[in-house]
Structure 1
Amino acid sequence: MIGERVKKYRLEKGLSLTELAERAGVAKSYLSALERNIQQNPSVQFLEKVASELGITIDHLIKDTVKEGQSGLDTEWEKLVKEAMNSGVSKEEFKNFLEFNKWKLKNEDE
């Protein structure tokens, strides 16, 4: 079940239910219901937010097992990530870049 996997990864990260909900920008009550298998069909957007905060791919939440070394990214994304890593871009710089682009897209819509 997806909820059981969310809880497993959340606990591995040492996050409380409240912390994950706040960081991911999702309702704590919905997250709790999902972990208790009351809710069983979360949206892709919800899973993206939670997976991102847990530092995993959606595949890790959907599939029972994800083979070691299997990222869930298509070949082109893997190539881009490896290129960024090889060029010396740090995780923090990459996160900042993504946050800036999210901010930029949000402000363009307004």
Structure 2
Amino acid sequence: MIGLRIRRLREKKGYSISQLAMRAGISKSYLSQIERNLQVNPSLHLLSKLARTLDATLDDLIGVEHEDICNNEQLDRDWEVLIKRAIEKGMSKEDFKELSDYIRFKHLQINNSRSSGSKEDT
């Protein structure tokens, strides 16, 4: 869960909750709620602030493993065309990464909403 990952990264940096909240410019109580998984859908903006402050990436916070897409596999023709078009239109590697992070974040929000909803239904 995001809260546990944030807490571990915070402790690794040697920050208290108050110190991290102050450095990231967020509420101490909100950070505490995230770490205790009482708040499971923090905004991408807030997660970006925390990641920067913790010298981490959004992937580190949301727990996404990096996969080598070229690991013994060829990109199919559709992907090649999409990537070439994006580059031709000025999309950078950073833009791709940001878009990928955003998509992973939205999937995580959807999954968290589903799991929270199913808990409430029981």
Deviations 1:49-86 (A, max 9, x none): 0000000111101125457xxxxxx9734xxxxxxxxx
2:53 aligns to what? Answer: 53
Could you state the TM-score of these two structures normalised by the residue count of structure 1?
0.59
Alignment of 1:1-110 (within 5 A): 1-63=1-63, 65-66=65-66, 76-77=93-94
Q: Which has the higher contact order (CA 8 A, sep 6+)?
A: 2
Alignment identity in percent? Answer: 46
Q: 1:15-70, CA deviations, whole angstroms, 9 ceiling, x for partnerless residues?
A: 00000000000000000000001000000000000000000111101125457xxx
Q: TM-score, with normalisation over the residues of structure 2?
A: 0.54
Any gaps of 5 or more consecutive residues in structure 1? 68-73, 78-110
User: Radius of gyration: which is bigger?
Assistant: 2
SS in 1 for 2:39: coil
One-letter code aligned to 1:76: K
Q: Using a 3 Å threshold, how does the CA distance of structure 1 residues 12 and 75 change in structure 2: closer, same or farther?
A: farther
Cα RMSD after superposing both structures: 1.8
* Structure 2 counterpart of 1:21, one-letter code: A
